[in-house]
Amino acid sequence: MTARHFLSLMDCSPSELISLIKRGIELKSLHRQGVVYEPLKNRVLAMIFEKASTRTRVSFEAGMIQLGGQAIFLSPRDTQLGRGEPIEDSARVLSSMCDAVMIRTFEHADLETFARYSKVPVINGLSDDLHPCQLLADMQTFHELRGSIQGKTVAWVGDGNNMCNTFVQAAVQFDFQLRIACPEGYETDAAFLEQAGDRVTLLRDPREAVAGAHLVNTDVWASMGQEDEAEARLKRFAPYQVTPALLDLADESVLFMHCLPAHRGEEVSAELMDDPRTVVWDQAENRLHAQKALVEFLLAE
């Protein structure tokens, strides 16, 4: 049997995604009550990080320990992956020793290649195209604080990057309307937009995107791997900073999310980070609970 992978939100059905979120909420509650729950005793998650990480690394590592298993951190700097060993070979070897593999990398196609040769589940811990684990935590956060997101209006302000692409997929899977406001030339990939049809509207004016929205999101203006473009992007994106005043145009129940790390004074104003509508710390914590639900689901398959 081929392993079940989680490279994008489209790898699960809408009902599986809702179940994962509900399970994340249950696991959070068990954890807070101090209940020891170790269904993954002796199970091992390998984690390959070709880009930096705080939240993804710590949440997977802590999550595996809490579930009774272990996680192994692998960096290309000190493995043969960084010296050119083919992805196919690494996939065959790692998946013969470990029970699941999480990968944070640049090219999404590398994840797909790894998954094709892996006997065990492969999890996308962020690629240049997608960050589905973050969306599990974000959807859990919205669900906990506001209930179902179905039929709600969500705004994305800023770069049409990997997080924005993942929100486009989330609009399809969780059935909400997404309005994207981004500068010309920084749109979400056309292929993702096509997949979403009329659930997504592309705009230029952040105020138009945010008006009446129930959830507003942004992310850094220069993602990992775009460091050389950072200065040019600062100028181009200046009108897209999310501030308390911009959020005032949204629905009164609005939540503000950012996957973090945040750059205060760039994509988000410093005041907004401390605004009561901001739920970035809940999102970050929920990475732990949502991914425990994900690993439990994938390893139970």
Among all residues, which ones are annotated catalytic? 104, 131, 134, 219, 259, 287
Total residues binding ligand NVA (CB under 6 A): 9
**Does 224 contact ligand NVA by CB under 6 A?**
yes
161 binds, among ligand NVA, ligand CP, none (CB under 5 to 8 A by kind): ligand NVA
Q: Does residue 134 bind ligand CP (CB under 6 A)?
A: yes
Give the residue with the Cβ less far from ligand CP, 189 or 285: 285
CA distances from 183 to 205, 216, 236, 240 (A): 9, 17, 7, 8
Q: What is the largest CA-CA distance in the chain?
A: 53
55 binds ligand CP (CB under 6 A): yes
> Could you tell me which stretch among 38-46, 173-181, 192-200, 216-224 binds ligand NVA (CB under 6 A)?
216-224
Shortest spacing between CB 278 and ligand CP, in angstroms: 15
Interface with ligand CP (CB under 6 A), residue from 44, 234, 260, 273:
260
56 binds ligand CP (CB under 6 A): yes
Stretch that binds ligand NVA, among 13-21, 99-107, 159-167, 178-186 (CB under 6 A): 159-167
Rounded to a whole number of angstroms, the minimum distance from the CB of residue 221 to ligand CP is 15
User: In the sheet where 70-74 sits, what is the strand order?
Assistant: 70-74, 44-49, 100-104, 122-124
Q: Which CB, 64 or 220, lies closer to ligand NVA?
A: 220
Contact assessment for residue 240 and residue 183, using Cβ atoms and an 8 Å cutoff = yes
**Residue 54, contacted partner among ligand CP, ligand NVA, none, CB below 5-8 A by kind:** ligand CP
Report the C-alpha gap between 262 and 256 in whole angstroms: 13
Could you say which of 163, 213, 262, 295 contacts ligand NVA (CB under 6 A)?
A: 163
**Cβ–Cβ < 8 Å for 280, 258:** yes
CA 73 to CA 228: how far, in whole Å?
28
For residue 220, state whether it binds ligand NVA (rule: CB under 6 A). Answer: yes
Kindly tell me which of 66 and 283 has the beta carbon lying closer to ligand NVA: 283
Determine which helix (DSSP H) or strand (DSSP E) holds 59, and give its type and residue range. helix 55-66
- Closest to ligand NVA by CB, 97 or 191: 191
Residues 65, 216: Cα–Cα separation, whole Å: 33
Among 46, 135, 259, 299, binds ligand CP (CB under 6 A): 259
Residue 54: CB minimum distance to ligand CP, A: 4
- From the list ligand CP, ligand NVA, none, pick the one residue 143 interacts with, judged by a Cβ distance below 5 to 8 Å according to partner type: none
How many other CB atoms are found less than 10 A from the CB of residue 131?
27
Integer Cα distance of 36 and 133 in angstroms: 24
Q: Please choose, from the candidates 46, 127, 133, 61, the residue with its C-alpha nearest in 3D space to the C-alpha of residue 92.
A: 46
Residue 80 interacting with ligand CP (CB under 6 A): no
Question: Residue 274 and residue 177: Cα distance in Å, rounded?
Answer: 27
Which of residues 94 and 268 has its CB atom nearest to ligand NVA in the complex? Answer: 268
B/e letters for 274-291, b = 16+ CB within 10 Å, e = fewer, are: eeebbbbebbbbbbbbbb
Are 255 and 216 a contacting pair, CB within 8 Å?
A: yes
- For ligand NVA, the binding residue among 196, 259, 295, 299 (CB under 6 A) is 259
Residues lying near ligand CP in the complex (CB under 6 A) are found at: 53-56, 126, 134, 259-260
